[in-house]
């Protein structure tokens, strides 16, 4: 539902890809910053590198993407779908719904294409040697 809402607000699939990548990068930066802070705190306590490895192994400071990551990514996101394009898509979707869409589509038979069963793609099982 979020994708549909964003599309209606002018975001294309490519825009959503950018937003997602940006959110992931923000989470990674947050995880790196948290790890640097943890290393500084361990150094101040005088703990060695062996303790550092034990504590950080399997411990992810940012285990998932959050709403905050996406909100920050959205702050710099660009909309590339205009209102005119959204209305055009909605009109197309409505016309496809009224006409039955792809429900009436079928591939033509060999007789309709012409040449009988031997013609067409694949040659009825003779395509085993595809790359020679």
Spatial distance between the Cα atoms of 78 and 21, rounded to a whole number of angstroms: 14
DSSP 132: -
**Domains defined along the chain, listed by start:** 2-88 (1.10.8.60)
48-70 tens-digit pLDDT? 655 544 454 557 888 899 999 99
Task: Kindly report, residue by residue over 65-101, the tens digit of the pLDDT.
Answer: 999 999 999 999 988 988 898 889 889 888 888 877 6
pLDDT for 116 equals 52
Q: In the prediction, which pLDDT does 54 show?
A: 44
């Amino acid at each position: 539902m979020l994708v549909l809402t964003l599309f209606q607000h002018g975001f294309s699939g490519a825009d959503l890809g950018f937003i997602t990548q940006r959110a992931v990068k923000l989470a990674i930066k947050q995880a790196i910053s948290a790890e640097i802070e943890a290393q500084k705190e361990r150094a101040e306590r005088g703990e060695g590198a062996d303790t550092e490895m034990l504590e950080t192994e399997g411990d992810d400071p940012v285990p998932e993407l959050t709403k905050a990551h996406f909100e920050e990514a959205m702050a710099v996101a660009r909309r590339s779908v205009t209102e005119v394009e959204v209305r055009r898509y909605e009109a197309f979707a409505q016309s496809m719904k009224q006409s039955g869409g792809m429900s009436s589509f079928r591939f033509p038979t060999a007789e309709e294409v012409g040449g009988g069963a031997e013609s067409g793609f694949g040659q009825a099982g003779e395509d085993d040697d595809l790359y020679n």
